[in-house]
Amino acid sequence: MEGLAMGGYGAYVWTCFILAAVVFVICEWRARLRLRQVYRDIEVRIKALGDTQ
Amino acid sequence: MWKFIHQLASPPHFYTIASRIVPWFVFAGLLSVGYATYAGLFLAPADYQQGDAFRIIYVHVPSAYLSMVAYMIMAVSAGIGLIWRIKLSHAVAAAAAPLGAWFTFLALATGSIWGKPMWGTWWEWGDPRLTSELIMLFLYFGYMALRGAIDDTVKADKSSAVLALVGAVNVPIIHFSVEWWSSLHQGATLVKKGGPAMDPAMLYPLLAMILGFTFLFGALLLRRVRAEVLFRERRTRWVKELILSGEGPR
């Protein structure tokens, strides 16, 4: 527990590390979401074009 | 060399290469960040002045460094796109902006959290380093807002490129602000004459964290550029073939 307390600065230190992890997770999630979204939109468009031809 | 660069600038070629590189970047990034987190939190000794609060630098410094690197990537890519009209450059600039904004936010937030126990305040408006970094966050917001406000991709590319280039003047201001003006923020520790002013036990985890953050940032950037390339090339034959191959987004 002493290690986690970081000499009284634990709340500050751990918040920063957790915040960094959260930012990475959000960035990764948004990047994947965008790629999937674009991919799906193109799929729908190609299908729609195929149906009309 | 020029042939390789020319090939890389081709969207389908870039898309394929980026798909292969991303997993390696993620692997190298996680490995490096994993080691740096353990060494930075548990192996490095506490600072004689700041105590354990100094460990915040292990996330603050890499994020601040990447906030500036992302801006330079955005500005240089936008400039290349504007001058040589390379399609991929604008895609890179557009993809770098949101990431840069996130890392600037992280640098500001962790700096603020560090400032409370060390300076006794969350924020100091008179400090040039803090203010210039905040201006960079607004530049990112402005860049993204401008892009979002213009429907025509070509016009959006050109207008936002000008903004990115004008805003690039802020990057050296951020870097040298601690030397040019009186600042609460400490001076350069890593890049200075005579080498880094840190004990190796503290320095190596920091370098590993910077390396790890850079790899992960690279993976995120490549993923975003791939989406941007796919969107811009959505009416081309190679994208149609890619979608019809049923490979799926990776």
Mean pLDDT of B206-230: 96
For chain A, how many structural domains are there in total? 1
Tokens of B240: 């149609």
pLDDT of res. B2: 66
pLDDT single digits (tens) B159-183:
999 999 999 999 999 988 888 877 7
Contact with chain A for residue B97, Cβ under 8 A: no
Give, rounded to a whole angstrom, the gap between the first and last alpha carbons of chain A: 68
Domain that residue A45 falls in? 22-53
DSSP string over B179-203 = HHS--SS---SSSSTTS-SS-HHHH
Q: How far apart are CA B25 and CA B199, in angstroms?
A: 28
In a domain, A45, yes or no: yes
Partners of residue A26 in chain B, C-beta under 8 Å: 102
User: How distant, in Å, are the alpha carbons of B77, B96, B215, B237, B240 from that of B250?
Assistant: 24, 19, 18, 20, 16
Residues from A contacting B (CB-CB < 8 Å) are: 3, 6-10, 12-13, 15-17, 19-20, 23-24, 26-28, 30-32, 34-39, 41-43, 45-46
pLDDT single digits (tens) B126-136:
888 999 999 99
Partners of residue B248 in chain A, C-beta under 8 Å: 39
* Ranges B54-68, B154-168, B232-246: which has the least confidence: B232-246
Task: Please check the confidence at residue B1 and state whether its pLDDT lies above 70.
Answer: no
User: How distant, in Å, are the alpha carbons of B69, B75, B111, B143, B219 from that of B225?
Assistant: 16, 15, 29, 16, 10
In a domain, A16, yes or no: no
**What ipTM was reported for this prediction?**
0.91
Partners of residue A53 in chain B, C-beta under 8 Å: none
In a domain, A26, yes or no: yes
Interchain proximity A42–B230, CB inside 8 Å = yes
Contact criterion met (CB below 8 Å) for B63 and B110: yes
pTM (two decimals): 0.92
Mean pLDDT of B144-163: 95
Contacts 24+ apart (CB under 8 A), B169-174: B170/B71, B170/B132, B170/B135, B170/B136, B170/B139, B171/B68, B171/B71, B171/B72, B171/B75, B171/B136, B173/B128, B173/B132, B174/B68, B174/B129, B174/B132, B174/B133, B174/B136
In a domain, A50, yes or no: yes
Interchain proximity A20–B110, CB inside 8 Å = yes
pLDDT single digits (tens) B60-92:
999 999 999 999 999 999 999 999 888 899 999
CA distance A1 to chain B (A): 12
Task: Please check the confidence at residue B56 and state whether its pLDDT lies above 90.
Answer: yes
Contact with chain A for residue B223, Cβ under 8 A: yes
Q: How far apart are CA A52 and CA B8, in angstroms?
A: 35
Contact with chain A for residue B16, Cβ under 8 A: no
In which residue are the tokens 């081709």 written? B10
CA distance B152 to chain A (A): 17
The closest of B4, B6, B29, B2 to B212, measured between CA atoms, is B29
pLDDT of res. B248: 67
Q: How far apart are CA B130 and CA B141, in angstroms?
A: 17
**Nearest-Cα residue of chain A relative to residue B98:** A27
Contact with chain A for residue B243, Cβ under 8 A: yes
pLDDT single digits (tens) A4-42:
888 889 999 999 999 999 999 999 999 999 999 999 999
pLDDT single digits (tens) B87-127:
899 999 999 999 999 999 999 999 999 999 998 999 988 88
Q: How far apart are CA B220 and CA B101, in angstroms?
A: 13
What is the per-residue burial (b if ≥16 Cβ within 10 Å, else e) of B200-236?
A: eebbbbbbbbbbbbbbbbbbbbbbbbbbbbbbbbbee
In which residue are the tokens 């949101």 written? B98
pLDDT of res. B48: 87
Partners of residue B32 in chain A, C-beta under 8 Å: none
pLDDT of res. B5: 67
Contact criterion met (CB below 8 Å) for B223 and A31: yes
In a domain, A37, yes or no: yes
pLDDT single digits (tens) B175-206:
888 888 777 777 777 777 777 778 889 999 99
